[in-house]
C-alpha cells in the first residue's frame, strides 16, 4: 500500500512506525524541525510494544505535499491537531493526491473533524479512527508508546462497509499496534469523547496523571457530573455509544478504563506545559457547542472549558 501520514506528531509517528514495520510504502508530512530529524536520523519507536528503528531511506518525508512526487495514495492518515483540520483538508485539495479510490482516515481527537473534509471530498472517502493508545514524543523523530487501552478502530460515519479498510487495519496490526475495522465508529468516537472529556480538562487543570484524578472523591464527583452532561448532549443530538447511560459508563470507566491508563498524562496537559495551543475546543468545547444547539445547559463542561482556555492563553502569552 501507498500511505501518506499527514502530521508527524506523536500519533502520526506511531502509526507510521507500524506501517513501516509491516513493510508498507510510507511518506510523512511534518513540520520543518521534525522533517529534518526524520530525514537525518530516521524514525524510532519505543515503549510497551518494543523498540524498533527505521532508517531515513526507508520512507519519504516532506514539509508540504508539493515536495512529494505526484501520487494517488491508497490512504491518507490525518494525524494533525483538530484545530488544523480545515487547513489540512484544503491542503489535500490543492495537492491533487486524492484519487477516486483514495481514502482519508482521520486519526484525531474530538468530534466534528469529518465535516471539514466532507466539505471538499465525497463522504465515501472520509473515514475516522478511534485511537486510545497513549503516545508521547520525547524527541522530534522518536515516539514512545506509554499505555494501550483497546485496539485502534477504523470505520465510516457514512455507512461505508468496514471491509474497505481491512487491509489498512491488518497492516497497522502487523506492525505492532492492535487495529481493527468497525461498523460502529460513531459509538467508538463518542466513547473516546467521553473518556477525553472526563480526563483531559481535569488532568490539565490539576496537572496530574489520570490515576490521581480517580483517587480523589471530590474529583470523582466532578467526573460523574461531566459524564451526565455529556450523555445528555449525546442523546439530545441523536447519537449513542456502547453504554445506555452515564451510570453504566462510569462503572466501566472507573473499573476498566482508568486503571491501565493511570500513569498517563493528557495531551491537553502536555500542550499547556509546552505553551502550545490545546485541542480543548474539539473536546469539552464540542460538548458546549452541541449543548447550545440542543438547548441543554452544561455548566460543568462550560466552566472547565473556560478554565483550560484561561490557562492556555496565559501560558502562550507568557511562556516559561
Using left for φ > 0, alpha for ψ between -120 and 50, and beta otherwise, residue 207 falls in left
Residue 187's closest CA among 252, 242, 133?
A: 242
Grid coordinates given for 132 = 486510545
Domain boundaries, the chain: 2-182, 187-317
CATH classification of 187-317 is 1.10.1040.10, yes or no?
yes
Per-residue pLDDT of the chain (320 residues; tens, 9 = 90+): 999 999 999 999 999 999 999 999 999 999 999 999 999 999 999 999 999 999 999 999 999 999 998 889 999 999 999 999 999 999 999 999 899 999 999 999 999 899 999 999 999 999 999 998 888 899 999 999 988 878 999 999 999 999 999 999 999 999 999 999 999 999 999 999 999 999 999 999 999 999 999 999 999 999 999 999 999 999 999 999 999 999 999 999 999 989 988 888 888 998 999 899 999 999 999 999 999 999 999 999 999 999 999 999 998 777 65
Grid coordinates given for 44 = 524510532
CA dist., res. 288 & res. 300, Å (int): 10
CA dist., res. 196 & res. 110, Å (int): 8
The pLDDT value recorded for residue 58 is 97
Provide the CATH topology of domain 2-182.
Rossmann fold (3.40.50)
CA dist., res. 94 & res. 83, Å (int): 19
CA dist., res. 276 & res. 278, Å (int): 6
> HEC string of 207-237?
CCCHHHHHHCHHHHHHHHHHHHHHHHHHHHC
Amino acid at each position: 500500500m501507498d500511505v501518506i501520514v499527514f502530521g508527524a506528531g506523536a500519533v502520526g509517528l506511531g502509526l507510521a512506525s507500524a506501517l513501516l514495520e509491516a513493510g508498507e510504502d510510507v511518506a510523512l508530512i511534518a513540520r520543518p524541525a521534525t522533517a529534518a530529524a526524520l530525514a537525518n536520523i530516521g524514525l524510532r519507536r519505543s515503549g510497551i510494544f518494543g523498540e524498533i528503528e527505521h532508517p531515513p531511506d526507508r520512507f519519504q518525508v516532506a514539509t508540504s505535499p508539493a515536495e512529494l512526487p505526484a501520487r494517488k495514495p491508497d490512504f491518507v492518515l490525518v494525524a494533525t491537531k483538530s484545530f488544523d483540520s480545515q487547513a489540512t483538508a484544503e491542503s489535500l485539495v490543492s495537492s491533487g493526491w486524492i484519487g477516486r479510490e483514495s481514502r482519508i482516515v482521520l486519526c484525531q481527537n474530538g468530534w466534528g473533524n469529518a465535516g471539514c473534509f466532507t466539505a471538499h471530498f465525497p463522504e465515501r472517502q472520509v473515514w475516522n479512527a478511534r485511537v486510545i493508545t497513549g503516545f508521547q514524543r520525547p524527541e522530534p523523530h522518536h515516539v514512545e508508546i506509554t499505555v494501550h487501552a483497546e485496539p485502534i478502530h477504523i470505520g465510516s460515519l457514512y455507512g461505508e462497509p468496514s471491509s474497505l479498510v481491512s487491509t489498512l487495519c491488518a497492516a497497522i496490526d502487523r506492525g505492532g499496534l492492535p487495529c481493527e475495522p468497525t461498523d460502529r465508529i460513531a459509538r467508538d468516537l463518542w466513547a473516546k469523547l467521553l473518556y477525553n472529556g472526563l480526563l483531559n480538562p481535569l488532568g490539565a487543570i490539576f496537572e496530574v496523571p489520570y490515576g490521581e484524578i480517580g483517587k480523589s472523591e471530590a474529583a470523582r464527583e466532578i467526573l460523574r457530573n461531566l459524564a451526565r452532561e455529556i450523555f445528555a448532549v449525546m442523546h439530545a443530538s441523536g447519537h449513542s455509544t456502547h453504554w445506555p447511560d452515564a451510570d453504566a459508563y462510569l462503572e466501566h470507566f472507573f473499573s476498566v478504563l482508568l486503571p491501565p491508563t493511570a500513569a498517563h498524562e493528557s495531551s491537553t496537559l502536555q500542550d499547556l506545559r509546552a505553551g502550545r495551543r490545546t485541542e480543548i475546543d474539539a473536546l469539552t468545547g464540542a460538548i458546549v457547542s452541541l449543548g447550545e444547539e440542543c438547548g441543554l445547559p452544561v455548566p460543568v463542561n462550560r466552566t472547565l472549558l473556560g478554565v483550560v482556555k484561561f490557562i492556555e492563553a496565559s501560558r502562550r502569552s507568557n511562556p516559561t
